[in-house]
Amino acid sequence: MELTGRPSGAPPLPALALAIALGFALAAPADAAIKLPSYIKTCSRNDPNLNECALKNGKAAIPYLLPGDPKIKLPSLNPLRVQEVRVDQEGSVGLNLLLRDLDIVGLGDGDLRSVRFDPKQLVLDVHLFVPRLQLLGKYNISGRILIIPIHGKGDANITLDNVPLNYTLRFAMEARKGKEYLKVVDKKIAFDASQAHFIFENLFDGDERLRANVRRVVNENWRQVIEDIGPPVVSAIGEVVTQLLKGFVTAVPYAEIFPDTPA
């Protein structure tokens, strides 16, 4: 499953690898100077093993970033909070699903598998594997799912097993006050799962017979269901990360992230 878009802020930066992919929540104004924490190591853009360096440094930073860091205004990243996700399908066989106050659990257990960055083309590819990704929150649903009429609201638990997440980001340079900064101009997010499980409490206003039948059908046909609701969820994660990164990208020059030093 693949998503493309033009985000309003800036997603992950390669030298920080998963640390950035999980959300570097810096709320500094555009002209403010931010020093990288000592546990975040940079990589020379001239390093012939740049990708290996970025992967190594990203992995090393993860334990420091997951619990949050108040010195850089970084909240806890496990779970990651998403305020709202909407799925709106038009037509006679449509589905309207609102997920709100979502806690996304499991990103902290992800394994950063590869980081590839082209400093000439300014293109980044990041591959993250998450053994189990859970979305816990409130839902409100109406319409049809797998042609079955459905309605209800209450607690939701959507669980995805063995989730590969692949991010491809294209950057451009932005000059400000004599310094260059990275700016994301395009992104692509692809994901998959080996299995998905759905629990929507209080479907059909608590009618247990209808709820059990729909739950069985939905879980038996999980692949088709996740093709409908998965992309908006993953897109929402990406947009949250984008907003969290906005302050970082506008405050830290490219030369500090990838210094132009000898390899």
Q: Map out the domains of the chain with their CATH numbers.
A: 2-257 (3.15.10.30)
**How far apart are the C-alpha atoms of 139 and 124, rounded to whole Å?**
34
CA 141 to chain centre: 23
Confidence of residue 240 (pLDDT cuts 50, 70, 90): low
Read off the pTM.
0.79
Give the residue with greater pLDDT, 199 vs 27: 199
15: pLDDT confidence band, cut at 50, 70 and 90? very low
CA–CA dist 67, 192 (Å, integer):
27
How far does Cα 224 stand from its chain's mean position?
22
DSSP assignment string, the chain? -EEEE--SS----GGGHHHHHT-------TT---PPPTTS----TT-TTHHHHHHHHHHHHHHHHTT-BGGGTBPP-SSEEEEEEEEE--SSS-EEEEEEEEEEE-GGG-EEEEEEEETTTTEEEEEEEEEEEEEEEEEEEEEEETTEEEEEEEEEEEEEEEEEEEEEEEEEEEEETTEEEEEEEEEEEEE--SEEEEEETTBGGG-HHHHHHHHHHHHHTHHHHHHHHHHHHHHHHHHHHHHHHHHHHHHS-HHHHS-----
What's the rounded mean pLDDT across residues 51-75? 81
At 73 the pLDDT is: 63
φ/ψ (deg, to 5) at 39: -85, -5
Tell me the average pLDDT of the chain: 79
> Is 29 a residue whose pLDDT tops 50?
no
- Top-confidence residue, 68 or 150: 150
101 or 33: which leads in pLDDT: 101
Q: Quick one: pLDDT band at residue 153, thresholds 50, 70, 90?
A: very high
| Of the candidates 143, 73, 80, 75, the residue with the CA atom closest to the CA atom of residue 106 | 80
Examine the pLDDT at 158 and tell me if it is beyond 80.
yes
| Matching residue, tokens 């997010």 | 189
Please state whether beta strands 195-200 and 148-176 pair in parallel, antiparallel, or not at all (unpaired): antiparallel
Nearest Cα residue to 201 out of 143, 160, 147, 152: 152
Task: Give the pairing of strands 148-176 and 123-145.
Answer: antiparallel
The pLDDT, as a whole number, for residue 1 is: 52
Q: Give yes or no for residue 121 having a pLDDT over 90.
A: yes
